[in-house]
Structure 1
């Protein structure tokens, strides 16, 4: 986590070599007096299978209710892109992204849905959240349908 000076915003930034090397920037919440939800959708997320090294594809949806900071979207995009060369099981990747965001940003609440495309003929969906949904905040469904193939 960088200090309050964003590393990536307004700067040329290259894709980090790994999620561990990626720096996520956080900026002060401009509406800290209000409770609201933020959604990021990454419909073309990729990582690598830790067994075969083949690419895995997912549609990630990250919902969070910010507290004092919000994640800067360019740094999040670079962080997610750093998984392109990262080997990890779907569960580890999905939950790991959520846990890192919670540990660094300290939102009121966060959930992540990893809607993974079939591997070996079986789609795998992974869901994680940091706790109970907060009262008084509109939390819509993530809106990603279960995998249906060509049907």
Structure 2
């Protein structure tokens, strides 16, 4: 089997600075080597952080991103840099979660994508945000996201 085509990637294998904001972050993609098959790719970010836009205090989430690729896969280093670009970004939980999902959908045009944003309490209330592009493709095993309802999340 031939290796993945990495031509055109600007971040993988090179020193790359942390983007100052999600808008400045560059998400990159590579061709999906098994585009004819329907399978799930999962990324879990258990230490996602952003800032409350009102207080400037840090907010923490456990993000789970599942997608069924079409022609493209997200390059993981670029995804990590994109996710960490939220650390100094002030936005509500719903906006952060849906911004991540929207950028991935725009980049990849996946067959299907869902995101679970499991946010730790702010003001004593956890705010969890869920979104998906539509029904999952038939015949694809979609595992549970594995994050329990809030009880200390640990």
Shorter-chain TM-score tier: over 0.9
Question: How far did residue 149 of structure 1 move?
Answer: 2.6
Question: How far did residue 104 of structure 1 move?
Answer: 1.4
The aligned counterpart of 2:22 is 19
Question: How far did residue 121 of structure 1 move?
Answer: 0.4
Q: 2:63 aligns with which of 60, 85, 95?
A: 60
Q: 1:6 aligns with which of 1, 5, 9?
A: 9
- Let me know the Cα RMSD of the aligned residues: 1.5
The aligned counterpart of 1:94 is 97
1:101-116 equivalences under 5 Å are: 101-116=104-119
The aligned counterpart of 1:137 is 140
The aligned counterpart of 1:69 is 72
In the alignment, structure 1 segments of 5+ residues that lack a partner are none
Q: 2:54 aligns with which of 32, 51, 54?
A: 51
Q: 1:44 to 1:136 in 2, by over 3 A?
A: same
Deviations 1:23-45 (A, max 9, x none): 00100001112110000000000
Counterpart secondary structure, 1:83: helix
Question: How far did residue 91 of structure 1 move?
Answer: 0.4
Question: How far did residue 146 of structure 1 move?
Answer: 1.0
TM-score by length of 2: 0.93
Q: Aligned equivalents of 2:146 and 2:98: distance in 1? A: 19
The aligned counterpart of 1:31 is 34
Q: 1:149 to 1:12 in 2, by over 3 A?
A: same
State the 4+ residue runs in structure 1 displaced beyond 4 angstroms.
none
Question: How far did residue 4 of structure 1 move?
Answer: 5.5
Aligned residue-pair number: 149
TM-score by length of 1: 0.95
Deviations 1:69-121 (A, max 9, x none): 00000000000000000000000110111011101110000000000000000
